[in-house]
Structure 1
Amino acid sequence: MNDNYLGLDAGGTSTRAVVVSSDGHCGGIGKAGSGNPTSAGIDAATTAIRDAVTQAVTSANAGRLAGAALAVAGAGGAGHRAAIVAALSDLVAVEPVFDFDVLAAYFSGTAAPDGYVLLSGTGASAVRVEDGRLAGISDGLGWLLGDVGSGFWLGREVVRAGLAPLDGRGAATLLTGLLLDRLGITRDERPQGGRTGTLVAATAALYAMPPLRLADFASLVFTAAGAGDEVAAGILDQAAAGLRETLAAVRTPDVEGPLVAAGSVLARQPEFAARVAPGAVVATDGLAGAAVLALRHAGVLVDDAVYRRVTSSLAQLTEV
């Protein structure tokens, strides 16, 4: 056993692991598929987590780790947590600590113990952090019930707006052509049961996908809006308003710490991030926060110097 610890950030798209020493030096990373049991299933998610951790430990040549903090989206069930603990028992000396993925997102942008994070990735939420702990959360209710302004929400609106003109329900929009191109569907105006062949093929392709795959189309709204499309611009207006409302719900005068903007949507669209969260630190890598959580749970004081070592050493690893 040594003073190396494991940080894990497992989401609906990918699972990433990092081995970090007590002084904040990241020595190895690993990556695998979805670690979210909701989107991937318990067996596949657990396998992905095991694969990512094994890669990180091997690349760091770390041996058995002294502890672990796991930020796993959707790991609320005892069954999945038990499966993860069993899968990592030979790699980690003590039972891992499970923490919130939104905290990993927060600590990817700052070492401050108090502040806020606005997250828009596949899902969307806002969180108030106090003394390094989750003190308040808004939205994050999942694709079916909430996540306003998330990648899924945007992708669903792109699909709805793109399909609507095909049966006369909506205004013409660049989103239609972009959507069909992404699906690999050529226009076919021949009728099939009262609909055009285009609409029949598009709906069939979309319904064949798992629902969360609609997030794959989120980027199209930024492409269309950038080209002056009014329908796409309207979707972004709604998303921005929803995210601002979500953030306002967790703000309190008692907490004046930094604001972090995180998640794939905000990290990849800096202009949109600045619009919904002015002055925010944009965190582009949730793995840094997972490393910070691992150190904090091990009792390590993560001051600015340690935090800089975490982020700089991790940047070097990801450049390789």
Structure 2
Amino acid sequence: MGYDTLTIGLDAGGTSTRAVLTTGTGECVGFGVGGRGNPTSSGVEIAGDGVMASIAAALAASSATLADVSVIATAMAGQRIGDEEGAWLMARLSAEGFAGRLVFESDLAATYFTGSAEPFGYAIVAGTGACAVRIEDGSIAATADGLGWLLGDRGSGYWIGHRVARAVVRELDHAGPRTALTPALLAHLGITAETARREGRLQVLDQVVEALYALRPIELAALAPLAFTAADAVAERILHRAGAHLADTLAAVLDGPGPVVLGGSVLCRDSPVRDAFVRRLGAAADGLDMRPVVDGAVGAGLLALRAAGVAVSPETLARLSGSLAGMR
């Protein structure tokens, strides 16, 4: 095999898991993708299957086995860090020959180290949920939001999707302005626009309400893309408010200039959300180096190297990013 150190970084999300097999010098020698990897949202069996599938795919690109891996760092949202809490995964890994160290890290840390190896900076993720952190001495020192759909996640995909649903219902209930979001949502739900009424109310409104209440609240995040394509005043107002909320979340952890790594589908693209985000930050944005990233895979790999005692640097990050890009 010829590698003195092998580590695996796992970027385990609610929809997919990415595994990065890395040497002690920061070279990626294997990459794999599996299914859902977060036990909080998917349960331990499904999450275990997703993680193990991603690891198997990463190992298949090399001659290594799990017995050759010294450290596995698993980055995910909502996972408490500790041996007992990680038993659901350690049992699966041990059965395949892993005898090394398993550590858990925040998905925000993985996002940050995907875009920066500097010991001080910030990360903000706006996907289904939304959260920001400040990194000091390579560790999370401050956190804002990430409070879930009921109490927070302001400006997130869920937040946007919820506002889309409310805007459409308000129009159909004659309580809000006309919006291009309405035909878009009806098409998304497979509901035909009709003018028939029952008890003075549009029957199509009853159908929309029934369809929306049949969803789990977090599933409203799937409606967020409608706001990006509707291109009318109602949709733009939703996106502008989302950007302002995200800026306020980041501002809560700001403590001087530094890199800001942007993750999640809501914020990492050029859009009215990003524009409103920067505009709301105002003068504070002048000292911030915005760095969008597509996922936390590189950062998970870097966190695994750190857990193995490797001193990481911007050069390590560049080497890992470049070698991983060639394997995707």
TM-score (norm 2): 0.89
Distance 1:132 1:173, change over 3 A: same
Query: How many angstroms apart in 2 are the aligned matches of 1:108 and 1:271?
Result: 24
Query: How many angstroms apart in 2 are the aligned matches of 1:200 and 1:106?
Result: 44
Question: Percent identity at matched positions?
Answer: 44
Count of residues in Structure 1 that have an aligned counterpart in Structure 2 = 313
1:32 alignment partner in structure 2: 34
1:47 alignment partner in structure 2: 49
2:238 alignment partner in structure 1: 235
Distance 1:259 1:274, change over 3 A: farther
1:267 aligns with 2:268: yes
Contact 2:74–2:103 (8 Å) recurs in 1: yes
Matched residue of 1:76: which SS? coil
1:162 alignment partner in structure 2: 168
The aligned runs of 1:95-106 (5 Å cut-off) are: 95-106=101-112
Q: Which amino acid aligns with 2:14?
A: G
Structure 1 position 202, deviation (Å): 2.2
Query: How many angstroms apart in 1 are the aligned matches of 2:184 and 2:249?
Result: 29
One of 160, 176, 180 as aligned partner of 2:182: 176
Structure 1 position 199, deviation (Å): 2.0
Decide which moves more: 14-23 or 57-66: 57-66
Query: How many angstroms apart in 1 are the aligned matches of 2:323 and 2:55?
Result: 18
Contact 2:129–2:146 (8 Å) recurs in 1: yes
2:321 alignment partner in structure 1: 311
Query: How many angstroms apart in 2 are the aligned matches of 1:183 and 1:18?
Result: 37
Query: How many angstroms apart in 2 are the aligned matches of 1:193 and 1:44?
Result: 46
Matched residue of 1:265: which SS? coil
One of 68, 74, 91 as aligned partner of 1:70: 74
Q: Which amino acid aligns with 1:15?
A: T
1:83 aligns with 2:88: yes
Matched residue of 2:150: which SS? coil
One of 239, 246, 249 as aligned partner of 2:249: 246
Matched residue of 2:262: which SS? strand
Contact 1:121–1:264 (8 Å) recurs in 2: yes
Structure 1 position 36, deviation (Å): 2.3
One of 207, 210, 214 as aligned partner of 2:213: 207
5+ residue gaps, structure 2, are: 279-284
Matched residue of 2:101: which SS? coil
Contact 2:168–2:182 (8 Å) recurs in 1: yes
Matched residue of 1:236: which SS? helix
Query: How many angstroms apart in 1 are the aligned matches of 2:167 and 2:72?
Result: 44
Decide which moves more: 12-21 or 53-62: 53-62
1:285 alignment partner in structure 2: 295
Distance 1:194 1:271, change over 3 A: closer
Structure 1 position 18, deviation (Å): 1.2
Matched residue of 1:186: which SS? coil
Query: How many angstroms apart in 2 are the aligned matches of 1:88 and 1:213?
Result: 31
5+ residue gaps, structure 1, are: none
1:218 alignment partner in structure 2: 224
Contact 1:10–1:49 (8 Å) recurs in 2: yes
Q: Which amino acid aligns with 1:141?
A: L
Matched residue of 1:60: which SS? coil
Taking only aligned residues, the RMSD between alpha carbons, in angstroms, comes to: 2.0
Query: How many angstroms apart in 2 are the aligned matches of 1:178 and 1:155?
Result: 12
Structure 1 position 275, deviation (Å): 4.1
Distance 1:62 1:275, change over 3 A: farther
Distance 1:14 1:211, change over 3 A: farther
Query: How many angstroms apart in 2 are the aligned matches of 1:111 and 1:286?
Result: 13
Query: How many angstroms apart in 2 are the aligned matches of 1:55 and 1:270?
Result: 34
Query: How many angstroms apart in 1 are the aligned matches of 2:13 and 2:106?
Result: 11
Query: How many angstroms apart in 2 are the aligned matches of 1:274 and 1:258?
Result: 18
2:282 alignment partner in structure 1: none
1:257 alignment partner in structure 2: 258
Matched residue of 1:264: which SS? coil
Structure 1 position 77, deviation (Å): 7.9
Q: Which amino acid aligns with 1:101?
A: D
Distance 1:66 1:201, change over 3 A: same
Structure 1 position 2, deviation (Å): 5.2
Query: How many angstroms apart in 1 are the aligned matches of 2:33 and 2:208?
Result: 33
1:148 aligns with 2:146: no
1:42-83 deviation line (CA, Å, top 9, x unaligned): 322222222222222223332121111110212228765210
Matched residue of 1:148: which SS? coil
Distance 1:221 1:314, change over 3 A: same
Contact 1:39–1:212 (8 Å) recurs in 2: no
2:116 alignment partner in structure 1: 110
Distance 1:136 1:70, change over 3 A: same
Contact 1:119–1:262 (8 Å) recurs in 2: yes
